[in-house]
Amino acid sequence: MAGAPRSLAVLGGSPAFATELPVGQMYFPPWEAYEEAFRALFDREYYTNHGPMAREAEARLAEVLDVEHALCVTNATIGLMMAAKALDLRGRVITPAFTFVATAQALTWAGLEPVFCDVSRTTHQMTPDLVAPLLDDSITAIHPVNLWGGTCGPSALEALARAGGVHLYFDSAQAFGCRTEGRPVGSFGALEVFSFHATKILGTGEGACITTNDGDLAERLRNIRSSYDIRSRVAVPVTTNGRFSEAQAVLCLLSLDEYEGRRRHNISIRDVYRAGLADVPGIDWCEPSGVETSNEQYAVCEVHAEVFAISRNVLLQSLKAEGVNVRRYFYPGVHRVPPYTDGGEAPSLPNTDHLCDTVLQLPLGALVTPRDADRIVELINEIHAGAEAIAHRLRS
């Protein structure tokens, strides 16, 4: 039997990977560093309420992101909710539907109505051309998302927002560490919100930060976050608990030390995918757009069924059977999810709908090696070669 091709798992073979490979980042600091930091935390007996580690994390983040104010918060969803309230927005907000659902849900919590904007079929990002026709008197803000370790080209949107007299603030959940237009992402628009979820390159388990150069806005955000670290009593429409614990802060500081190493590891995996997938018919590898430097946080491709001979969903099913936990980001589009649709007609977002049907996220991060990526490329080729057998199997 030596040399006989292994049967694909979707056709009844055993999985290529015994342990499931995750899509996310899942980077952790070394145990020794973490233990030392936590021992110090125990000695201080100070675990929350804007403690010394939280303050240090904020100072380091402000420096790294070259911005006046970095406010660490519980998670990016809470951060986005706080941002909308700090800006005191009322009315409708232009935002993409090709994003994680929290982008829109945060608007809903803040009493705002999202107006969904399509994205570029090439870059997957919102563009000024797509936003401009949606601007009218009911619009209070533009709220773009910087996707895939790339950006939507913030300064062109800044010009559009200025001309339209509306607020602009960014969901940069995926963009920590990226550079564009000569500086780090973090100081565009009125504010930006980064995610430090475990699936991000700078992970704190759960966590996030809000960055701004506007001192008044920073004060309002501090006041909304909690009663700790308020420097002056500014009026805010509502407050919440958006505090960042010392445990989160320790993870943040250790992750900052490791950031560049993580990025290089991601590059080594992405290099394998890029080279390996270049010759696979119907698989288009996507590079981050609108950045000089990416955080290299995602491995994104599009699956074109008419050329690959297999749909994105069947490729997903076939890879999952092999223990490769690929994901559809984002599916369905937010414009097709309650409460944004009542099941009736969704707004026409042809590029968003197309991408929701074709985009696939491949594993990278701490738990993935370049060798794993190589094996995944092989599997994609094997699945392409087995298209007929798979189609037959799934029909029966």
Cα distances (Å, whole numbers) of residue 113 to 101, 108, 168: 14, 6, 15
Asked if 258 touches a copy of itself (CB under 8 A), the answer is no
Asked if 111 touches a copy of itself (CB under 8 A), the answer is yes
Which of residues 48 and 311 has its CB atom nearest to a copy of itself in the complex? Answer: 48
Which listed range, 62-70, 195-203, 317-325, 354-362, lies at the site for a copy of itself (CB under 8 A)?
Answer: 195-203
CA–CA–CA angle 183, 186, 190 (5° rounding): 120
284: which residues sit within 8 A by CB, 6+ positions away? 301, 302, 304
Q: Which of 120, 213, 239, 341 binds a copy of itself (CB under 8 A)?
A: 239
Task: List the interface residues with a copy of itself, window 333-352 (CB under 8 A).
Answer: 338-339
Asked if 54 touches a copy of itself (CB under 8 A), the answer is no
- Which tokens sit at 328? 């559809």
* DSSP letter assigned to residue 11: G
Q: Which of 15, 17, 26, 56 binds a copy of itself (CB under 8 A)?
A: 26
Asked if 388 touches a copy of itself (CB under 8 A), the answer is no
Strands 359-361 vs 167-168: parallel, antiparallel or unpaired: unpaired
Q: Which of 125, 211, 245, 295 binds a copy of itself (CB under 8 A)?
A: 245
Residue 395 CA to residue 328 CA, distance in Å, equals 22
In the sheet where 170-171 sits, what is the strand order?
69-73, 208-212, 192-195, 170-171
Asked if 256 touches a copy of itself (CB under 8 A), the answer is no
Q: Which of 10, 198, 202, 383 binds a copy of itself (CB under 8 A)?
A: 198
Least distance to a copy of itself, CB of residue 331, Å: 12
Least distance to a copy of itself, CB of residue 387, Å: 31
Site residue total, a copy of itself (CB under 8 A): 44
Q: Are 352 and 333 in contact (CB under 8 A)?
A: yes
Closest C-alpha to 211, from 171, 250, 153, 238: 171
Which of residues 225 and 384 has its CB atom nearest to a copy of itself in the complex? Answer: 225
Closest C-alpha to 363, from 354, 371, 355: 371
Which listed range, 74-82, 136-144, 278-286, 345-353, lies at the site for a copy of itself (CB under 8 A)?
Answer: 74-82
Residue 223 CA to residue 46 CA, distance in Å, equals 21
Q: Are 252 and 202 in contact (CB under 8 A)?
A: yes
Asked if 38 touches a copy of itself (CB under 8 A), the answer is yes
Q: What's phi and psi for 9, nearest 5 deg? A: -60, -35
Q: Which of 366, 373, 377, 383 binds a copy of itself (CB under 8 A)?
A: 366
Interacting residues with a copy of itself (CB under 8 A)? 26, 28, 31, 34-35, 38-39, 42, 45, 47-49, 74-78, 81, 101-102, 105, 108-109, 111, 197-198, 203, 205-206, 227, 235, 237-241, 243, 245-247, 338-339, 366-367
